[in-house]
């Protein structure tokens, strides 16, 4: 049985929307990968349903640990973290194993041994050389719980098939963050403890019912994730002009200046004042890989530099622009940090103004050369609309057929056919149909009904040079606020 690729991708999130957990989300991303593979090369229209069978049953993954750990009732509703209150004694099965065969046996039983954070599963037996191997009570409830292979291994190593009961003290340190939160939050409510990591900052998107526990949740996330020293909650959706979130510190230090590595490049920025998305690293890498030494990159919505800086490191000359003065400041900072300030000229302009001033000024000479010119426009909520800035940008006399700029323009789509949607919107902005003259890449699934797409195309000369399609409104050419990064001090 086969079904259309797009229908498949649309349906999957809906099927699982009610029971998403970490494991099934992971799987959805695997399906997205398969979807991309299926769709990208030639926009294949079928997608094998057989992959669905590989989808783990979300139910299988829920509640397993609660069988081992039933929290003391007094932790329920706790808002200030009291770690001691989580300590409990649980009984787990154990095997007495001769020291000589221990390592081999542990390998054979690895699926059923006890695995808890910060806990040893092999204990000494007083007064003799034997060891006690602790087992997972969820997998092993009696001697008949062992698989045939496990029973054979026990027999071949001469380990008697006799389970002992061991009283184990389970402390806060041995619990996973979800177990702690499940114990604290009111029963039946979602305890999702997922977050995105940006340097030392973990940022979460808490639901209404989780807000009374935000301080405790933040503390638990810090405790359980080494290197996280600040946990923030987003307090709005990303609809501001500069695409940054308003955020509130839930726990830890107030320091919002993060340092991250992406594709072997280091960036620093104030996470509360600029845009940064760790989920775009593959896309940054994909586009930068298209560049050759000597190419020029015109980055219209550059942020703090995740296209511009690797492009410059690859040998491209870059003009990078961002309207947010804070992004502009950190962009300059990162150029210096990565020693590419001579290769990157930065601007603090509106995207259209940048195209109509700096880009317009540089293009004539670039078009006469042989190196490629790439325009990157990553402001998915709006960038497709900004394409109109290329209409009639250059004078007719400069007309040339070759080496026209290649644009990579991003757009969100919530339509059933996101590919067609973004191509239509790009075409409308340009006043020229791109159908059959562009490629479309699915960047990522933002939410069940929203895709981020990238349309790549060579700007048609009819758009760039046609004076008839020139914008009619009276646009005041902005004074160029440009600077070689090297000229500035931070």
* Candidate list 243, 333, 343, 356; residue touching ligand SAM; CB under 6 A: 243
Q: Does 323 bind ligand SAM (CB under 6 A)?
A: yes
Q: How many CA atoms lie within 13 A of 456 on its CB side?
A: 15
Dump the DSSP string for 304-322: TSTTHHHHHHTT-EEEEE-
* Candidate list 46, 59, 169, 241; residue touching ligand SAM; CB under 6 A: 241
**CA gap 89, 279 in Å, rounded:** 41
In terms of phi and psi (left: phi > 0; alpha: psi -120 to 50; beta: otherwise), the region of 249 is: beta
* Candidate list 307, 390, 432, 457; residue touching ligand SAM; CB under 6 A: 307
Output DSSP code: residue 359: I
- Residue 259 pairs in a beta bridge with 268
Q: Does 350 bind ligand SAM (CB under 6 A)?
A: yes
Which among 76-84, 146-154, 236-244, 430-438 is the span making contact with ligand SAM, rule CB under 6 A? Answer: 236-244
**CA gap 102, 115 in Å, rounded:** 16
Shortest distance (Å) from residue 354 CB to ligand SAM: 7
Long-range contacts of 50-59 (CB under 8 A, 24+ apart): 54/27, 54/30, 55/24, 55/27, 55/31, 56/23, 56/24, 56/27, 58/16, 58/19, 58/20, 58/21, 58/23, 58/24, 59/19
Which among 70-78, 241-249, 262-270, 474-482 is the span making contact with ligand SAM, rule CB under 6 A? Answer: 241-249
Which among 104-112, 206-214, 316-324, 437-445 is the span making contact with ligand SAM, rule CB under 6 A? Answer: 316-324
Q: Are 300 and 461 within 8 A, CB to CB?
A: no
Q: Does 240 bind ligand SAM (CB under 6 A)?
A: no
Shortest distance (Å) from residue 162 CB to ligand SAM: 59
Which among 169-177, 180-188, 273-281, 418-426 is the span making contact with ligand SAM, rule CB under 6 A? Answer: 273-281
* Candidate list 324, 338, 357, 466; residue touching ligand SAM; CB under 6 A: 324
Shortest distance (Å) from residue 236 CB to ligand SAM: 15
Dump the DSSP string for 212-259: GGHHHHHHHHHHHSTT--EEEEE-S-S-STT----EEEEEE----EEE
* Candidate list 296, 327, 346, 413; residue touching ligand SAM; CB under 6 A: 327
340 vs 379, beta carbon nearer ligand SAM: 379
Q: Contacts with ligand SAM in 362-381 (CB under 6 A)?
A: 378-379
165 vs 241, beta carbon nearer ligand SAM: 241
Q: Is 351 annotated as a binding residue?
A: yes
**CA gap 307, 287 in Å, rounded:** 8
**CA gap 423, 439 in Å, rounded:** 9
Helix (H, G, I), strand (E, B) or coil at 430: helix
Shortest distance (Å) from residue 422 CB to ligand SAM: 15
Buried b / exposed e along 235-250 (16+ C-beta atoms within 10 A): eeeeeeeebbbebebb
* Candidate list 66, 176, 242, 273; residue touching ligand SAM; CB under 6 A: 242
Q: Are 235 and 210 within 8 A, CB to CB?
A: no
**CA gap 302, 331 in Å, rounded:** 8
Dihedral of the alpha carbons of 170, 171, 173, 176, in degrees to the nearest 10: 60
Which among 78-86, 218-226, 227-235, 303-311 is the span making contact with ligand SAM, rule CB under 6 A? Answer: 303-311
Q: Does 270 bind ligand SAM (CB under 6 A)?
A: no
64 vs 238, beta carbon nearer ligand SAM: 238
Output DSSP code: residue 438: E
Q: Does 298 bind ligand SAM (CB under 6 A)?
A: no
- Residue 165 pairs in a beta bridge with 93
Q: Is 323 annotated as a binding residue?
A: yes
Shortest distance (Å) from residue 318 CB to ligand SAM: 12
Q: Is 322 annotated as a binding residue?
A: yes
Shortest distance (Å) from residue 306 CB to ligand SAM: 5
Shortest distance (Å) from residue 241 CB to ligand SAM: 5
Angle at 29 between CA 269 and CA 448, to 5 degrees: 85
210 vs 324, beta carbon nearer ligand SAM: 324
Helix (H, G, I), strand (E, B) or coil at 447: strand
Which among 93-101, 104-112, 149-157, 322-330 is the span making contact with ligand SAM, rule CB under 6 A? Answer: 322-330
Binding site for S-adenosyl-L-methionine, by residue number, is 284, 322-323, 350-351, 378
Binding site, by residue number, is 284, 322-323, 350-351, 378
Residues at the contact surface with ligand SAM, assessed by CB under 6 A? 241-243, 275, 277, 280, 301-303, 306-307, 321-324, 327, 350-351, 378-379
């Amino acid at each position: 049985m086969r079904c259309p690729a797009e229908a498949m991708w649309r349906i999957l999130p809906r099927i699982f929307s009610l029971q998403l957990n970490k494991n099934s989300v992971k799987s959805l991303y695997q399906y997205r990968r398969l979807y991309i593979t299926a769709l990208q090369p030639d926009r294949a229209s079928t997608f094998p349903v057989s992959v669905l069978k590989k989808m783990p049953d979300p139910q299988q993954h829920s509640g397993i640990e609660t069988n081992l750990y039933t929290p003391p009732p007094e932790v329920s509703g706790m808002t200030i973290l009291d770690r001691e209150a989580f300590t409990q004694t649980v009984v787990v099965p154990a095997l007495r194993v001769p020291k000589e065969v221990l390592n081999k046996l542990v390998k054979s039983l690895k699926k059923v041994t006890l695995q808890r954070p910060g806990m040893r599963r092999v204990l000494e037996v007083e007064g003799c050389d034997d060891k006690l191997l602790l087992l997972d009570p969820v997998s092993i409830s009696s001697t008949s719980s062992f698989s045939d292979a496990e029973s054979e291994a026990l027999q071949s190593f001469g380990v008697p098939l006799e389970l002992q009961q061991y009283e184990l003290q389970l402390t806060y340190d041995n619990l996973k963050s979800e177990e702690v939160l499940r114990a604290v939050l009111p029963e039946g409510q979602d305890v999702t403890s997922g977050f995105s990591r940006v340097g030392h900052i973990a940022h979460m998107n808490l639901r209404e019912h989780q807000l009374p526990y935000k301080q405790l949740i933040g503390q638990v996330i810090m405790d359980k994730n080494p290197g996280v020293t600040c946990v923030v909650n987003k307090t709005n959706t990303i609809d501001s002009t500069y695409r940054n979130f308003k955020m509130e510190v839930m726990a830890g230090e107030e320091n919002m200046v993060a340092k991250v590595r992406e594709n072997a490049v280091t960036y620093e920025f104030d996470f509360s004042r600029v845009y940064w998305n760790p989920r775009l690293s593959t896309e940054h890498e994909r586009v930068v890989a298209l560049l050759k030494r000597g190419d020029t990159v015109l980055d219209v919505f550059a942020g703090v530099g995740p296209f511009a800086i690797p492009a410059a490191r690859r040998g491209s000359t870059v003009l990078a622009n961002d309207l947010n003065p804070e992004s502009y400041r950190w962009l300059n900072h990162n150029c210096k940090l990565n020693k590419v300030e001579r290769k990157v000229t930065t601007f603090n302009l509106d995207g259209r103004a940048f195209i109509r001033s700096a880009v317009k000024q540089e293009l004539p000479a670039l078009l006469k050369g042989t190196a490629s010119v790439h325009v990157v426009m990553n402001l998915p909520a709006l960038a497709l609309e900004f394409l109109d800035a290329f209409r009639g940008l250059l004078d007719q006399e400069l007309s040339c057929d070759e080496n026209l700029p290649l644009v990579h323009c991003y757009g969100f789509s919530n339509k059933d056919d996101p590919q067609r949607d973004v191509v239509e919107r790009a075409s409308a902005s340009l006043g020229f149909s791109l159908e059959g003259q562009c490629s479309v890449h699915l960047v990522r699934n933002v939410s069940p009904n929203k895709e981020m797409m990238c349309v790549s195309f060579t700007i048609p000369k009819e758009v760039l040079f046609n004076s008839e399609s020139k914008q009619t409104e009276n646009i005041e050419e902005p004074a160029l606020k440009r600077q070689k990064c090297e000229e500035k001090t931070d």
